[in-house]
Structure 1
């Protein structure tokens, strides 16, 4: 069994230079993995990732996640190759179907096929396989090859998924599965059972696939202020993730009221509707002791990596500092 890792997830909404500064702080504090989200209408994650690669020496780096609908598989191969070269072999490849792409007019047909074929094409290109590929959605003509140096042919693959079919795919082909937007320990055995289906089909041990849970994180010595900020953040995606969690039943009127307020732009009012017990399922929040206890509960269920997502604190830098100085030491004892 691999040792438990702790990661930091960053939104790509910052100015040049901020990523390097936060990455140096995070690596010095002992974080193992630095992730940049690839959310719609934010900066492409390759920009902050390359900046962070130059500022760090040890931490693994990757986007969570790229999708094959807004970026062609050969371009995904190019981005992970660039990051792996810049980081001297510390990149991972994150793939997911993507969210909210309808807002920019992109359909998402056959997501499992798209993800599987994208992974096959990426690794064929990285390994120099010029035999071509004829899939149901994507193709490579024979003799098609990358025209630049590749550091590694096989950076680890992470698939972002919640559902049974996506998790089974991860069980067949991935090194990790990320369940984004969850801090719920009860969901871990559900994900493991879903992984096992695919792992057994591929003749793998389910424990070969690391389970990653990540969510909005707000930590501060003022726990009440941290939880109030987290409520506002969680409200923006609660209606999406709550419907994916097989262990949670929320009143339908709660999700409807939260969604209505979010759609109207009143995120603070939406956040105030989120009860404490629901908040703890979908965010890490409160004092360092509270956040550490939530992360430890996930570790105790067998999560391989816990990822503390943006905004980290009442401001990013203080949040990263508190996670490094007051949360991680409790988890590494």
Structure 2
């Protein structure tokens, strides 16, 4: 039986040194995993991850997530190998199809094939397999190999996905699936059913695949200020994630109105349109007690890991410290709702 893990997700928009400082604090507070987002037009996550690896001893580290359209599979293998070597075996491989790549002229054909073949290429390279691989989208010539040492042949795999087909793929090949942008306990059951379909095809037990939910987090002793900040943050991606959640009931033309304001650069005004119940499905926000109650609901629903995402608080440092000192101690991480494993 395993206890639920708590992770911290960071945006890669900081200065050198900030990542090490936040990572040390997070590890001291008892976080289990540190993730760096791989969002479009932000710093490549390998830079902050290597800085955090040097500043920590125990937490697992990874990008959540890289995609095989803007970064070739052999490059993904290299970045993963570098992080695993630098962290002495604490890296995980995070992959997703990616979002908003059309803004830089990158098409995303056959996303499930791209993800599955990327996993194949990465693990073949890390294992030193020189037999070659001929896929529908990617290939390795016979004899192609990495020309540097690796720490492990198979760091664990996390796939980012919401939909039935992506979740089924995770059920077949992944160690974890992350539902990014959700704080909704109802999604745990939805994803478990979707994962189970793929797990059955591969002869796996669904409980072998950990379900991770993560979202914008803003915690502060001033709960109203925290929720106001969270509304502005959520407004920027609400139109994307709300359509992915089959359990969410969104009032009328709300998403269209929010998107118009966001496109006009009026994030605060857009956030004011988001009602409390909808905000709580897509963000952790409020006082430490409120945020802890949201996280506990996910744990009780069976989430393997809860990930508190950027911006954490009204400032990074205060948010991380409040999460560590005032939220984590309130959580019961016992495996009541999760499959044994």
TM-score tier, shorter chain, comes to over 0.9
SS in 2 for 1:233: helix
Q: CA deviation at 1:8?
A: 0.2
Are 2:296 and 2:332, in contact at CA under 8 Å, matched by a contact in 1? Answer: no
SS in 1 for 2:253: helix
Aligned partner of 2:133 in structure 1 is 133
Aligned partner of 1:294 in structure 2 is 294
Cα distance in 1 between the residues matched to 2:198 and 2:2: 20
Aligned partner of 2:114 in structure 1 is 114
Cα distance in 2 between the residues matched to 1:212 and 1:252: 30
Cα distance in 2 between the residues matched to 1:294 and 1:51: 31
Aligned partner of 1:241 in structure 2 is 241
Alignment of 1:316-331 (within 5 A): 316-331=316-331
For the aligned residue pairs, the C-alpha RMSD in angstroms reads 0.7
What are structure 2's unaligned runs of at least 5 residues? 334-341
- How big is each residue's C-alpha offset from its partner over 1:211-264, in whole Å with a ceiling of 9 and x where there is no partner? 000000000000000000000000000000000001012124100000000000
Q: Could you tell me the TM-score, scaled by structure 1's length?
A: 0.99
Q: CA deviation at 1:125?
A: 0.2
Cα distance in 2 between the residues matched to 1:96 and 1:253: 29
Cα distance in 2 between the residues matched to 1:87 and 1:139: 29
Alignment of 1:54-69 (within 5 A): 54-69=54-69
Aligned partner of 2:336 in structure 1 is none
Q: CA deviation at 1:105?
A: 0.1
SS in 2 for 1:307: strand
- How big is each residue's C-alpha offset from its partner over 1:67-107, in whole Å with a ceiling of 9 and x where there is no partner? 00000000000000000000000000000000000000000
Cα distance in 2 between the residues matched to 1:263 and 1:149: 46
Aligned partner of 2:49 in structure 1 is 49
SS in 2 for 1:280: helix
- How big is each residue's C-alpha offset from its partner over 1:166-197, in whole Å with a ceiling of 9 and x where there is no partner? 00000000000000000000111000000000
SS in 2 for 1:179: strand
Cα distance in 2 between the residues matched to 1:319 and 1:68: 32
Aligned partner of 2:146 in structure 1 is 146
Aligned partner of 1:176 in structure 2 is 176
SS in 1 for 2:69: coil
Count how many residue pairs are aligned between Structure 1 and Structure 2: 333
Alignment of 1:1-333 (within 5 A): 1-332=1-332
SS in 2 for 1:84: helix
SS in 2 for 1:145: coil
Cα distance in 1 between the residues matched to 2:251 and 2:219: 28
- How big is each residue's C-alpha offset from its partner over 1:102-125, in whole Å with a ceiling of 9 and x where there is no partner? 000000000000000000000000
Cα distance in 2 between the residues matched to 1:157 and 1:283: 25
The runs of at least 4 consecutive aligned structure 1 residues that moved more than 6 Å come to: none
Cα distance in 1 between the residues matched to 2:250 and 2:150: 48
Q: CA deviation at 1:3?
A: 2.0
Are 2:83 and 2:91, in contact at CA under 8 Å, matched by a contact in 1? Answer: yes
